[in-house]
Structure 1
């Protein structure tokens, strides 16, 4: 990670761009150095915004940039049975066939991007002394939420990872290159989220909030399978906090910061520094790369059978290649794609669609999961009510009297399709090996249980002089 730290130091000094709201637009007014930057609360707030800027990622074509959230679909959705490449070409096709290599540049991008964000969060935590007494606990909680969110993704994708819980120097290689146990990583995640729950409120959608910390902590408990009751209580507190389902499913994604969004990563249309390109990449001929995150036949069938009115919002037949199906849940800025899905009245590569990390429908379905706990079904009225709310919005209004584990998993698939949840859901429900093995057999891939984890990037192992071990199967 030595090469990362040099980039990060430069970024933290020079890249204080916005995340899509007025308060996310600090303007540097003087020359800044590492020694004199954090002298007052205003500068610390700039550092806080810099964390979200790191989550945004950079909308460019450089292979050494940190693209962060903008490319996370590769390592999540495209490693499930939901999406694939259109033509089976390039590094992205390794995800199609479950043949990801340690040298894969997309994996390396993801890994370094999110350790970059951890560095930014740790930098805020190291400089809390300049904050006012009134705001110090809130700023600390915000940085801990971001750190926990990133580590939760990393530990689910890579398994045991280096646990960097403070700002480290270039010679701190023991921390940088020592993989810590899952217990240690999850202990930090839980501790950070508990602090966030205690000290945050629900002011923001594009920044950390109490509800976001509660929902994420509930998902952590469900992932660990250790405390379903605590997860249920956390989710019920979110359900009593004023969030609600948008009546129209389309508006969830194109009426930003709506009543359903709990935490999203903000982007601004038309601005190179703050826009995103992923929604264009999923189309035909408009993105930095094209024809990725195309819909599998398996997912098309699931949406056609179970999606209700969500299907037309989520997918469409590719107007250029009718044998293919595109994700449309995040069409750039809500556009219809124009003639043949290829022309826009704006530059689709500079789209402003926010990326939704947590929303109320996810909370309702996790609520069912928490009540079901280790069982295979539930008819508890509270669970039925949460499940029915999601289905009613989809136009599926037949009364539900019992919910099986498979029905819950299916509902999560069509409700949260292409939101980078499917792989994690399969793993959490304990059916990933069975489901993905069958999917690979049908599509010509080669899946084994070791494919549930990504490889540690080979470049990181090289920098560690072999101290950083590789995951099994790579």
Structure 2
């Protein structure tokens, strides 16, 4: 993705509209629309690549730059019972202690980063008219809509009612930019976009949108809104499309873009333009802010008791501070002298580990969830087959009583997908977040309350809206 950085320069030259809200102070008095940007098919494809650039983010610690998924673990894993900080200080600790402030710079950066994804997708969608070939235009539309749906799905789950911007808007259209709409309306657009993506994509890519990625994401959306039979059908389509579990759990993360990967954000080592720093910063005394995603005692216990072969590849005792436990699924490649199969040359903050968004094991467990259909358990043979495939890969025996309970499914998702940013969303979707977080908070002296299930709308957005935008309760 080295060419994607040139797209940023192009975009800086003209369009600063609603979604790139970092640039809206003061509000501009005039602007250029996307119509003057892309005039050929090749130029529109550079716009597609720029969407992934926004997802990938910038490898630095400047909160004025978009960091895409590189900051997502703060907003998800560290607000669950899976991880915490080492120092218990600064803005990072606000997530751990459930006292996130509306002025939190990490929250503001994530919000702006994903609205940048939406902005770039909208720009592509409004430029499709320059493409002569109808099939190419349909494929580009599907790819842009997949990414827009992905961004909105994360934002609506984290912030609740949010502004819905489905086209490039004039810079002075602050009404659209700052008016929050109901989550149901946001989900309607997400579903529509993903249906288009499923119809228009194939399975060529793993670090770009694909048909299976759109199906898997749509299945997760359907599970979130209670459309279980639709989710089940999508999962079963993926099961028959050639994806398989890696025999060795560690290979999922270090034999990149393998048969289990459905969609990942791609990174390359050594060059700051295409690398990431989050995996180094989960270590001790390596990253710019080291030890920011340490494993909780609660998660260690779950992995030790139920993880099977996955445990050794999920966390380790910190070699420099034995009282702490580190996430190891994304250790910078080459951390042990190249033993992990790749190298970050001499700088761990230039790591090339891809960030996995969707993989086949997740789909198999979603299949179980869809069959369970919001109930307390299932004895379906199809559900048991999917469930046991995941367990067996971890060296564990089949489910012993022929019935999978909701609690068992949640636990299996926890140990299989630990530290991959699923736990918080899973607990909310299963209706268990309130009880789990309340108990975890009480046991660890934290400050959880019901309002913590949503993040605050960044105070910067509230201020810029001049009274249009309201804050979430509790902030």
The equivalences for 1:48-197 within 5 A come to 48-131=48-131, 132-197=133-198
Q: Is the 8 A contact 2:71 2:278 kept in 1?
A: yes
* Residue matched to 2:316: 316
CA distance in 1, matches of 2:14, 2:253: 31
Inter-partner Cα distance in structure 2 for 1:9 and 1:122: 18
Q: Within 5 A, what are the aligned runs for 1:9-408?
A: 11=11, 36-131=36-131, 132-225=133-226, 227-333=227-333, 335-336=335-336, 346-400=346-400, 401-408=402-409
Q: What is the SS of the residue equivalent to 1:91?
A: helix
CA distance 1:47–1:183, change in 2 (3 Å): same
TM-score using structure 2 length = 0.91
Deviation at 1:36, TM superposition (A): 4.3
SS where residue 333 of structure 2 aligns? helix
Q: Is 1:8–1:119's contact at 8 Å kept on the other side of the alignment? A: no
Query: Do the aligned residues in 1 keep the contact of 2:334 with 2:344 (CA within 8 Å)?
Result: no
Distance 1:467 1:63 in 2: 25
**How far off its partner does 1:13 sit?**
5.1
The 2-side partners of 1:73 and 1:304 are apart by 22
CA offsets 1:246-287 (integer angstroms, 9 cap, x no match): 010000001111000000000010111110001001001111
RMSD, aligned α-carbons: 2.0
**1:397 Cα deviation (Å)?**
2.2
SS in 2 for 1:332: coil
Deviation at 1:11, TM superposition (A): 4.0
Structure 1, unmatched stretches of 5+, are: 1-6, 16-31
Instruction: Mark the CA change 1:337 to 1:168 in structure 2 (over 3 Å): closer, same or farther.
Output: farther
Q: In the alignment, what sits opposite 1:425?
A: 426
- Secondary structure of the residue aligned to 2:154 is helix
CA deviation map 1:274-305 (0-9, x unaligned): 10001001001111211111000000000000
Aligned to 2:163, what secondary structure does the other structure show?
Answer: coil
In the alignment, the residues of structure 1 paired with residue 261 and residue 237 of structure 2 have an alpha-carbon distance, to the nearest angstrom, of 16
Report the 3-state secondary structure (helix = DSSP H, G, I; strand = E; otherwise coil) of the residue aligned with 2:216.
helix
**Cα-to-partner distance string for 1:215-255 (whole Å, 9 max, x where unaligned):** 11110111111x21110000000110000100100000011
Distance in 1, Cα, partners of 2:177 & 2:244? 42
CA distance in 1, matches of 2:317, 2:232: 39
Whole-Å Cα distance in 1 between the matches of residues 316 and 195 of structure 2? 41
Contact 2:74-2:95 at 8 Å conserved across structures:
yes
Q: Secondary structure at the match of 1:329?
A: coil
The whole-number CA distance in structure 1 between the counterparts of 2:286 and 2:472 is: 36
Q: Aligned pair in 2 of structure 1 residues 345, 137: CA closer, same or farther (>3 Å)? A: closer
Could you tell me how far 1:346 is from its partner in structure 2? 2.3
Q: Per-residue CA shift, 1:166-211, capped at 9, x if unaligned?
A: 0012101111000001111000000000000111111110011111
**For residues 262 and 91 of structure 1, what CA distance do their matches in structure 2 show?**
33
Q: Identify the range of structure 1 (206-215 vs 398-407) with the bigger mean alpha-carbon deviation.
A: 398-407
TM-score normalized by the length of structure 1:
0.91
Q: Is the 8 A contact 2:252 2:258 kept in 1?
A: yes
Q: Please state whether the residue corresponding to 1:249 is helix, strand or coil.
A: coil
Distance 1:35 1:405, change over 3 A: closer
Gap regions ≥5 residues in structure 2:
1-6, 16-31
Structure-2 separation of matches of 1:112 and 1:345: 31
> Residue 13 of structure 1 contacts residue 33 of structure 1 at CA under 8 Å; is this kept in 2?
no
**Preserved contact between residue 8 and residue 116 of structure 1 (Cα < 8 Å):** no
2:411 maps to 410
Give the C-alpha shift of residue 338 in structure 1.
9.1
Q: Which digits, 9 at most, give the CA deviation of each residue in 1:77-123, with x for residues without a partner? A: 11000000011011000011100000000000000000011000000
Relative to 1, partners in 2 of residues 1:130 and 1:368: Cα closer, same or farther, differing over 3 Å?
same
SS state at 1:333 partner = coil
